[in-house]
Structure formats: structure tokens, C-alpha cells
Amino acid sequence: MAARRNRPRSRPRRPAAPQPPPAPAASAPAASAPAEVPAASASIASAASAARAAGPAAPSEPARKLTASGVDRGRSLAAFLADRLAIAAPDADALIRRGSVYIGRRRIEDPTRLITAGDQVSVHAAPRGRAIGRQSSARASAVALPVATWVVHRDREVIVVDKPAGVASQATRAASAGALDRMVTEALDHEARLLHRLDRDASGLVLFTRTAAAHRRFSDLLATARLERTYCAAVWGHWPKPEGALSGSIGRDADDHRRMAVGQGRPALTRFRLIRHGSGPGGEPVSLLQLDLVTGRTHQIRVHLSHAGHPVCGDALYGEGHPPLDRLFLHAHRLAWPGATPVVAPVPEALSDLVG
């Protein structure tokens, strides 16, 4: 029998960089926000308004936006990124060649491209223009940037990271690769310890302590509700009250070990404030809320909101009967503790756009 010849494979053509769609006409929100809002609510509302005013969001939101100054003029894009992101040169080169880096709205794949003063450089978790499917697909593509690009605050005591949706906070025996705590200890600080967890499909701020003394101090702040944790969430339906609290003990659901349920377990308290009402996919009413955790039970916000009849948009576990979306629209927006300036992670454009 004659040997079968191996035919050379032809390389598929690389698709052209997607062009931005025209900006849609602005529309008024369905209802106004409460007349008086505290600082955290104001920051959520202003961030959401700014995102809407900027026009339609790209399929992938920038994990880091950088502006080149006069001293950067003439440097290569790879050298600029390596310096600004505190990453190795090969990592910067790989980011560019993968199509994750834009200057303005143009994707740049040449690491030697020279920087000019005023260049607006954005680094994305995945090349813009690539569609992301259901939650499983979003989860698979989330870990695409070095963890150093997610750091929003670092001092002698703590590191605060803006975690993308789809990344597990803590490694388990079944899955350790790609977990946030493993990435932080390997890339940033071998002594860092995770203080609190954030649901895999949620995004936002996660705090790591850097010393044993810091871990004791921040654990005490967490236990005594002096570490303020503010979230924003898009929920299904027309939220009925401007502000208030959700309470009820939370424990493991006896019928489904994946879920938590109200009515058993440990006491839990979530404070809420309505930011605005809007119209979501298919015209279904949605609401944007600020939520402050007083306690920190597993899935606390998701369980309390679902129990109230308004599950978080995109929640596949607690949002039965609602359209599936590409992510969980829950974001850890703000952390604050005594003696420090609050740390804030901008509201994702996808979240503010949903509550249009």
C-alpha cells in the first residue's frame, strides 16, 4: 500500500480588525434615581452614566487603559507595556501578537510599533471583536492577561485586585490552574493570603494581605463589618423600594448542594439602594442596585435578591425563568477601611449598558 502523502495545511486568513458600530441615539432612563445618594451610590451612577455616554462597548472591556506621555515618545509598544504593567518583555510581546492591545480603536499586533505622546493604549482580556458565548465560554476566555494588569491598589499591607468575571478566587483540589490566589502568590507576592472570596462569575475587587499582622488586622475588620464592601448589580424586574435592607439566615439548600437558601443557617444582612430602572434584553425591565454587605455568607447577595423575586441578571443558578446572558451582572465596586482612601473598581461597561 502506498504511503499517504501529508498535504500542507493552508493558513486561514486573519480577519480584519472589527470596525466600531455607529453610536446609538441616547434614550432617557425609565425612572429617575433617588434625589439624594451617598458617595458610593454617586460613584456607581456617575460611572454608569459615563459608560453610556461613551457609546457602545466593545465585546471585550479594557482591563487597563494607559496614556503615553512625552517621555514615552519613540519607545516600542512592547517596551512601553512591559514598563507600565510591570511585566516581562516576552509577556508584553505575547499580549500584542495575540491581538489584545489597541491604540485608540485600532488593534496593534506589531510589538515594535513606536509610541507617540498622547497615544491611548488599551489592553483587553481577549481580542476585541471575538464573540463570547454563554457563561462557559466567557469563563474559558477570562484568564488572558497577566495578573499584574488587574492590580488596582498595593501597599505594604495589602494587594487589591480587580478580578475579571470567570476567574475562580481560590484554588481547589479539583481545579488550581488559573485561580486568582495561585496567580497572585506566584506572580506578585509569595506571602500574599486571600482575605475573602468573590464568586467565580462575578467581577470586581478582591483583597489579599501581605503579612501575618496585616491578615490578623483585616480579618478583624472583616469580622466586625469595618471593612466596607460595596457591590453593584443589575437585577431582573422593577425594584420597588429606593433603599432598605434584606435579611434572613442563609444556609445550604437541602435539595441542591450547589445552592444556598434563605431560612436556615447563619444570619445575613444586605443593605440596598436603588440607582435607576431601565430596560434590558427584549424590553424586560431591569434595575441597577448598590448593595452593601454587612455579613458575608456564601452567595449572599445572589440568594437575597433571588429570594426577593429579583435575581441578578445572568445568574444561571438562582435566576430560573430569565434569559441566559454572557456573564453574571454582579460587580464588587468598592472597598473601604479605616485610615485609607477607598479603593474603587470602575463599573463594567457591559453592566451599565444592560440597564440602558
Is residue 75 classed exposed, middle or buried when 0-12, 13-18 and 19+ CB atoms within 10 A define those classes? middle
Q: Which residues contact 75 (CB under 8 A, 6 or more apart)?
A: 83, 114, 115
Nearest to 217 by CA among 198, 193, 199, 197: 193
Lowest mean pLDDT among 36-45, 133-142, 294-303: 133-142
Q: Which residues contact 249 (CB under 8 A, 6 or more apart)?
A: 262, 263, 264, 265, 266, 267, 268
Active-site positions?
199
Mean pLDDT to the nearest integer, 150-157: 93
Determine the pLDDT at residue 63.
Answer: 64
Nearest to 198 by CA among 169, 222, 176: 169
Residue pLDDT, tens place only, 236-290: 999 999 999 999 999 999 999 899 999 989 999 999 999 999 998 888 999 999 9
> What residue has cell string 434572613?
248
Determine the pLDDT at residue 10.
Answer: 47
Mean pLDDT to the nearest integer, 288-306: 96
Per-residue pLDDT at 122 exceeds 70 = yes
Residue pLDDT, tens place only, 187-242: 899 999 999 999 989 999 999 999 999 999 999 999 999 999 999 999 999 999 99
| Sequence letter at residue 53 | A
The CATH class given to the 61-124 domain equals: alpha beta
Per-residue pLDDT at 8 exceeds 50 = no
Q: DSSP labels for 36-93? A: ---HHHHHHHHHHHHHHHT-SPPSS-EEEEEE--GGGTT-BHHHHHHHHHT--HHHHH
Per-residue pLDDT at 154 exceeds 70 = yes
Nearest to 194 by CA among 158, 228, 166: 158
Per-residue pLDDT at 292 exceeds 80 = yes
Nearest to 187 by CA among 195, 178, 197, 175: 178
Nearest to 345 by CA among 42, 43, 37, 126: 43
Can you give the residue ranges of every domain in the chain? 61-124
Per-residue pLDDT at 131 exceeds 60 = no
The Cα–Cα gap between 218 and 228 comes to 11
Per-residue pLDDT at 3 exceeds 70 = no
pTM beyond 0.85? no
Residue pLDDT, tens place only, 14-24: 444 445 444 44
The Cα–Cα gap between 63 and 56 comes to 17
